[in-house]
Structure 1
Amino acid sequence: MKNIVIGSGPAGRLGSLELGKLGEDVTLIEKNHIAGTCLNEGCMVVCALTDITKFIDLNKRFNSHGFLKSKMELSYEKIVEKIVETQEMLRKLNQMENESVGNNIIYGEASIDADTVTVNNESLEYDNLLIATGARPFIPDIPGKEYGLTNRDILKLDDIPEKLNIIGGGIIACEIANIYSTLGSEVNILARSQILKEISDATKKYVLKHILKDINIYENTNVKEAFKNKVLTEDGKELEGIPFFATGRTPNSEIAKDFVELNPDNTIKVDEMMKTTADNVYAAGDVTGGYQLTPVARMEGITAARNMANYPNKVGYHCIPQTLSLNMEVSFVENEKSDLSDDDKALIGIPGIAGPQSFWRILDGETGYTEVEFDKNKNRINRINSVSPSSAGDVAYLSYLMRMDYDLDDYGEFLEVHPSTDSNYKIIKNMWL
């Protein structure tokens, strides 16, 4: 059977790879660069820059303690050059990986008809189609919006901005703020409501006090107008700095709007098997909305691919772990099926434990913070918020145990790697069990 995949981001790339591994005939169509937003203008770029800011933060800490004397010179131009060089290497590897299972890759902009996909003036018939066209930055319709930067512009900057106004209060806004503040910019965050609503109040308090402490934060603030080097808020504040929009994402669903049913927010409507309302047409990744995370997009792409190859399976979104990539990671997961009363839950929170990447934070009282909420009746973990250098991996494995519905007694046999910086095992094994 002929399978066509449009879009090579995490959903399309992993979906086409899965189809190829299953022996299917696959054509992968990509408009720009293989690997999509994640590698080329999204989380991989953020991670690359955050690696540098972590080093800068650590260097400052060692200098402040007096046992290291160093002066750093930073070249943003060189950073961008090396990020682009790395991206090019990874694109080649991603293409080779897909071609290694027999997949055909075409670069060009696609359009869809009832039974065919047209690309580069060539019409291709298909038996199954996977739409994985992703999403793009949403820019609010305000005067001067053309002056605003987005994540797409990070690698186009000539130098580090002297002043930056980041409009938005979510994860991306705070990650960008952390990067440029550490690199030397004067940064403001302007949030329409509250920032970091995804994490607990205690965790947010820690992040603002110890990690984002050099950033000016304006909550419940709407931007009225943007200019080249300043913004004007509705309450009359005039803040100098280049505007940077981190106000969410909008789906690239135009390719399918007359072909499949869309949700009210213009994402493509799919069922648990990632199937659209059109026969033999599937969709996956950011274009379908929901959790706009690379691991979730991969999961959806693989789910769609297996169904296209007649291996029925369904996608699940229970206990999805997430991370805020700052100079120290902030990771969290919540059992969204649970709605506990105050009598049914117990909450334990303690400072982070000294260990790798955390020992030298003790002198500043910045070792991190971990908070775990328990379901007392069912003896289960309900929610975790963790600030530590190892939180991304720790919360990932704990989220798996939550999805598998393990009893807390089962954690008694868990053996952690020592030394560890995280408090999860201490809370679960030593304080709760």
Structure 2
Amino acid sequence: MEFDYDLFVIGGGSGGVRAARLTALDGHKVALAEESRMGGTCVIRGCVPKKLMVFASEYSEQIQLAQQYGWSASAGEFDWTRFKTNLHTELDRLENAYQTNAQKAGVEIFKQRAKIADPHTVELADGTRKTAKHILVAVGGRPVVPDMPGADLGLVSDDLFHLNALPKKMLIVGAGYIGCEFAGVFNGLSTEVSMFVRKAQILRGFDDEARGHIADCMQARGITIHTGCAPIAIERRDGGVWVKGSNGHEEVFDALLWATGRRPNTDGIGLEEVGVKLNRRGAIEVDDYFQTAVPSIYAIGDVISRVELTPVAIREGVAFHKTVFQGEKTKMDYDFIPSATFTQPEMGTVGLTEEQAEAQEPTLVYATAFRPMQTAFAGGEERVLFKMLVSKETNKVLGAHIVGPGAAEMIQFVAVALKMGATKADFDRTCAVHPAMAEEMVTLKEPVRVLA
């Protein structure tokens, strides 16, 4: 059978675009459909604009620090309108780059929604049908909003880059990395921030000591965290959003942000109708090579809910391309994937948490917390945390966690060492860079505790 395309990609995010470009560059006929904007969640409404907001929110503190170092400086007023204009100019540039690079590689782009009509056919929103030997689903995920009265009065993370003005008082419901990152951002931009956290601590799934350290720092910076609390009533009241929590606390806020998780964006695109299997969360089930229950249909990225990180989606796209179009069966390696949460202070992490290590094998825990030189000089009390988990039997480093300025930059290179199988002895025999915070990674001498 002759097809219109060798590959049709549904979704113009980082993973889908990478797979499409590589396949087109190999000389195959490739098309891609994207109903929103090229670049997907990360570029348009996630990592990139969020990180730019993080940068913006940190300058006031840096100016205060500069004053302590002798500079005559003042922050003045933050101009949200100016920032938002510059932000969207940059996002437009990045979107154009994504589209241009894909088209230069030979990818034909359809700017409309697509759904799967049969194992080899994609139907576009205008009714046009296109056939393909292989279909790749890379449609990502979307924010989840609880099903309760008044929920529509809240915002989701996508909305934050389009606010007309900064809220004076904000409630964030949820305390995953998205909620905690935006808590820091708006706190840094002088918004009064409160959080409702259903569990006993923020950042579920991360190392307990590290997330506790971050929670302490966030509260010291003025963020109010209500743990063991969920909203039970929401109304429009007194020109704002009135929210009552399960702990009895009630208050009127200028803005309510739902940061209650994300789910795969699999609704209404014909997956189950053609035989693709979804799990209970709505994620597409795939094998080690990203093939679904329908042999011609594959899926990568957040839509398969393995590790929901942009660099992972990109590598999954590469593995798909090698497997399907280069005849080199390639699995994704999910071990020792580093990640960062751009909380304030930020955290970099790779490998096992202390809790995971303890469940796996006897472990030596090395950790230190201290005031870094730059802020200690100016009287700052906030501490950084360096932590390493080491196998008692093999001396291999099982995990590392850093909380403090530059944590994301540092953890990238720690991850290289762990990926190579580094032992604690390898770190010990590496000379320190002084004076630098990062030297603590090679000067941790005695374990603070031993986990049997």
Q: Does 1:14 align with 2:18?
A: yes
Residues 238-277 of structure 1 mapped to structure 2, 5 A cutoff: 238-241=250-253, 242-254=255-267, 255=269, 256-259=271-274, 260-277=276-293
For the 8 Å contact 2:178–2:259, the answer to whether it is kept is yes
User: Which amino acid in the other structure matches residue 375 of structure 2?
Assistant: W
User: Which amino acid in the other structure matches residue 306 of structure 1?
Assistant: K
User: Which amino acid in the other structure matches residue 173 of structure 1?
Assistant: G
C-alpha distance 379-330 of structure 1, shift in aligned 2 (>3 A): same
Q: How many residues align?
A: 428
CA distance in 2, matches of 1:250, 1:205: 26
Alignment counterpart, residue 34 of structure 1, candidates 34, 38, 43: 38
Measured after TM superposition, the shift of residue 352 of structure 1 is: 5.3
Q: Classify the secondary structure of the residue corresponding to 1:49.
A: helix
Q: Classify the secondary structure of the residue corresponding to 1:188.
A: strand
User: Which amino acid in the other structure matches residue 77 of structure 2?
Assistant: E
Alignment counterpart, residue 160 of structure 1, candidates 166, 174, 179: 166
Alignment counterpart, residue 368 of structure 2, candidates 337, 350, 354: 350
Give 2:343's aligned residue. Answer: 326
Mean alpha-carbon deviation: is it higher for 272-281 or for 191-200? 191-200
User: Which amino acid in the other structure matches residue 186 of structure 1?
Assistant: E
Measured after TM superposition, the shift of residue 83 of structure 1 is: 0.6
Mean alpha-carbon deviation: is it higher for 30-39 or for 110-119? 110-119
CA distance in 1, matches of 2:105, 2:363: 49
Alignment counterpart, residue 92 of structure 1, candidates 60, 80, 96: 96
CA distance in 1, matches of 2:104, 2:431: 38
Alignment counterpart, residue 116 of structure 1, candidates 117, 121, 125: 121
Give 1:206's aligned residue. Answer: 213
C-alpha distance 15-361 of structure 1, shift in aligned 2 (>3 A): farther
Q: Does 1:300 align with 2:316?
A: yes
Give 1:74's aligned residue. Answer: 78
CA distance in 2, matches of 1:423, 1:269: 43
Give CA deviations for 1:257-310 in whole Å, capped at 9, x if unaligned. 322110111110011111111012110111111221111111222222222213
For the 8 Å contact 1:353–1:420, the answer to whether it is kept is no
For the 8 Å contact 1:143–1:224, the answer to whether it is kept is no
Measured after TM superposition, the shift of residue 353 of structure 1 is: 7.6
Give CA deviations for 1:349-405 in whole Å, capped at 9, x if unaligned. 123585xxx623443133511111111211111121101322213212222332332
Give 1:279's aligned residue. Answer: 295
C-alpha distance 21-339 of structure 1, shift in aligned 2 (>3 A): same
Measured after TM superposition, the shift of residue 222 of structure 1 is: 1.4
For the 8 Å contact 2:361–2:391, the answer to whether it is kept is no
Give CA deviations for 1:97-143 in whole Å, capped at 9, x if unaligned. 21222222221111211121122332111001100011110001111
For the 8 Å contact 2:433–2:439, the answer to whether it is kept is no
For the 8 Å contact 2:6–2:30, the answer to whether it is kept is yes
Measured after TM superposition, the shift of residue 58 of structure 1 is: 1.0
CA distance in 2, matches of 1:35, 1:42: 10
Alignment counterpart, residue 304 of structure 2, candidates 267, 288, 297: 288
Q: Classify the secondary structure of the residue corresponding to 2:285.
A: coil
C-alpha distance 359-162 of structure 1, shift in aligned 2 (>3 A): same
Mean alpha-carbon deviation: is it higher for 88-97 or for 167-176? 88-97
C-alpha distance 282-67 of structure 1, shift in aligned 2 (>3 A): same
Alignment counterpart, residue 390 of structure 1, candidates 382, 406, 415: 406
Give 1:218's aligned residue. Answer: 226
CA distance in 2, matches of 1:56, 1:9: 33
User: Which amino acid in the other structure matches residue 266 of structure 2?
Assistant: S
Mean alpha-carbon deviation: is it higher for 338-347 or for 212-221? 338-347
CA distance in 2, matches of 1:139, 1:303: 33
User: Which consecutive unaligned segments of at least 5 residues does structure 1 have?
Assistant: none
Alignment counterpart, residue 417 of structure 2, candidates 401, 411, 414: 401
Measured after TM superposition, the shift of residue 146 of structure 1 is: 0.5
Measured after TM superposition, the shift of residue 343 of structure 1 is: 8.3
Residues 368-387 of structure 1 mapped to structure 2, 5 A cutoff: 368-387=384-403
C-alpha distance 314-424 of structure 1, shift in aligned 2 (>3 A): farther
Mean alpha-carbon deviation: is it higher for 203-212 or for 160-169? 203-212
For the 8 Å contact 1:226–1:243, the answer to whether it is kept is no
CA distance in 2, matches of 1:16, 1:343: 42
Mean alpha-carbon deviation: is it higher for 238-247 or for 61-70? 61-70
Give 1:44's aligned residue. Answer: 48
Give CA deviations for 1:210-242 in whole Å, capped at 9, x if unaligned. 344210001111111223422111233212212
CA distance in 2, matches of 1:219, 1:282: 40
Measured after TM superposition, the shift of residue 70 of structure 1 is: 1.4
C-alpha distance 352-34 of structure 1, shift in aligned 2 (>3 A): farther
Give 1:235's aligned residue. Answer: 247
For the 8 Å contact 2:431–2:442, the answer to whether it is kept is no
Give CA deviations for 1:127-170 in whole Å, capped at 9, x if unaligned. 01100011110001111011010111112211110111100011
CA distance in 1, matches of 2:31, 2:161: 30
Measured after TM superposition, the shift of residue 192 of structure 1 is: 0.9
Q: Does 1:151 align with 2:167?
A: no
Measured after TM superposition, the shift of residue 63 of structure 1 is: 3.3
Q: Does 1:359 align with 2:367?
A: no
TM-score normalized by the length of structure 1: 0.92
Q: Percent identity?
A: 24
Q: Classify the secondary structure of the residue corresponding to 1:218.
A: strand
For the 8 Å contact 2:357–2:389, the answer to whether it is kept is no
